[in-house]
Amino acid sequence: MGLIAHALERVKPSPTMAITSKARELKAAGFDVIGLGAGEPDFDTPDNIKQAAIDAIKRGETKYTAVDGIPELKRAIANKFERENRLAYKPSEITVGSGGKQVLYNALVATLNPGDEVIVPSPYWVSYPDIVLLAGATPVIVETKLEDGFKLNPKNLAAAITPRTRWLIFNSPSNPTGAAYTPDEIKALTDVLLKHEQVWVLSDDIYEHLVYDGFTFATPAEVEPKLKGRTLTMNGVSKAYSMTGWRIGYGAGPEPLIKAIATLQSQSTSNPCSISQWAAVEALDGPQNFLKDWVESFQGRRDLVVSMLNQAKGIDCPTPEGAFYVYPSCAGLIGKATPKGKTIGNDEDVATALLEEEGVAVVHGAAFGLSPFFRISYATGLATLEEACRRIQRFCANLS
Ligand SMILES: Cc1ncc(COP(=O)(O)O)c(C=O)c1O
């Protein structure tokens, strides 16, 4: 009998991390590689947040804390929901984990049984289907289309629901497409869900603050209060405060769910890092004005990348509303050959050839469940992005 559990046979390691480490290896070996695979902002964590962590260490906040978060952080999270989302949650309805990923993992493992189904619109963040599989349930993938702005439409949602559906995973703005839903678009989906009491909503709002052109963010529990009793609203400090390494995420929802998550967490990681929790209090309670500059900077990068990619032969790049990703179609490259004689059969071939021939690391769409596309993360400086897009344009022009 093999050592590794059957559950792991169904799960793949994160392909985005794989491409990032391949690009890093090539770079370390002396190749001129531009990595556009990473899912994290390039900005430094703001100084006031770092200082709050230093102060916490000096005060001796270095011991175990309550499993699912210190009261001060739960209060800051409750205030954040009230202030930014007009949602009222009690501390007992809030859980804090080591990253949004742990909150999501805990919520799914705490609620799913074999045979249960979870609706995951594609393209999806790579971890959703694999966590569902780890929890022993079945991901039901519902494809979206570029023509629909990569947004789930209510008809397709209704068609995917069965008596076994337990969750809809909803992610706006989205990784990997950057698509963000308007309140009306959310309402059209929540109207469908109101008719199916067995379905809960897991709303992954981690890119909430990264929206452009004056777009107004909304979340399902806010748009349809009747669904609040079966919604877990998940968020975190990773993306908005450039704190990916600190590992703090949180979720808010009905007490029995929050309690179950705490039980699971108490037998796995226990509390998230005490120091990071104090830093997160400062992130949420402290000044938010730096965000405006970050958003402006991201919007400029997005505009540059979209415009340059649309000048590349065979690429069609829509303009996303948020996050720091674009998800262009590379349908126009399929069937062509590179100068080295390699035929491009799919989007993975595009990503491999781009890395090998032009030193640009992107992630192929198949990893996110929708081909033929690729994802570019534009969380890097303008000059680097310009050079990367120039290389992509050259790569496309040289195909025959
Ligand atoms: C859509 C989405 N949700 C959740 C996360 C998890 O973030 P973290 O665990 O750092 O809070 C990520 C990170 O890449 C993401 O892209």
Q: Which amino acid is at 104?
A: L
Ligand 1: residue of 17, 103, 125 to mutate (most ligand atoms within 8 A of CB) is: 125
For the Cβ of 99 lying below 6 angstroms from any atom of ligand 1, the answer is yes
Residue 1 has pLDDT above 70, yes or no: no
Which residue's alpha carbon is nearest to atom 1 within ligand 1?
175
Locate the ligand 1 atom nearest the alpha carbon of residue 248 and give its number.
Answer: 11
Can you tell me the mean pLDDT for 43-56?
98
Q: Token pair 């596309």 is at which residue?
A: 373
For the Cβ of 178 lying below 6 angstroms from any atom of ligand 1, the answer is no
Between CA 267 and CA 277 the distance in angstroms is: 19
User: How confident is the prediction for the chain on average, in pLDDT?
Assistant: 96
Q: What's the 234 CA to ligand 1 centre distance in angstroms?
A: 10
Q: What's the 389 CA to ligand 1 centre distance in angstroms?
A: 26
User: Would you say 327 and 314 are in contact if contact means Cβ atoms under 8 Å apart?
Assistant: no
Residue 56 has pLDDT above 80, yes or no: yes
* pLDDT range class, residue 10, cuts 50, 70, 90: confident
Helix, strand, coil % in the chain, rounded to nearest 5:
45, 15, 40
Q: What is the pLDDT of residues 77-123, one digit of tens each?
A: 999 999 999 999 999 999 999 999 999 999 999 999 999 999 999 99
Residue 319 has pLDDT above 70, yes or no: yes
Can you tell me the mean pLDDT for 9-31?
80
Between CA 170 and CA 306 the distance in angstroms is: 25
Q: What's the 204 CA to ligand 1 centre distance in angstroms?
A: 8
- What is the pLDDT at residue 26? 86
> Would you call 173 helix, strand, or coil by DSSP?
coil
Q: What is the pLDDT of residues 126-167, one digit of tens each?
A: 999 999 999 999 999 999 999 999 999 999 999 999 999 999
Note the pTM of the prediction, 2 decimals.
Answer: 0.96
Can you tell me the mean pLDDT for 220-233?
98
CA distances from 97 to 32, 108, 139 (A): 37, 14, 23
Q: What is the pLDDT of residues 242-282, one digit of tens each?
A: 999 999 999 999 999 999 999 999 999 999 999 999 999 99
- What is the pLDDT at residue 22? 78
Q: What's the 158 CA to ligand 1 centre distance in angstroms?
A: 27
Q: What's the 205 CA to ligand 1 centre distance in angstroms?
A: 9
Q: What's the 78 CA to ligand 1 centre distance in angstroms?
A: 20
For the Cβ of 244 lying below 6 angstroms from any atom of ligand 1, the answer is yes
Q: What is the pLDDT of residues 341-400, one digit of tens each?
A: 899 999 999 999 999 899 999 999 999 999 999 999 999 999 999 999 999 999 999 999
* pLDDT range class, residue 9, cuts 50, 70, 90: confident
Ligand 1: residue of 127, 130, 172, 247 to mutate (most ligand atoms within 8 A of CB) is: 127
For the Cβ of 14 lying below 6 angstroms from any atom of ligand 1, the answer is no
For the Cβ of 174 lying below 6 angstroms from any atom of ligand 1, the answer is no
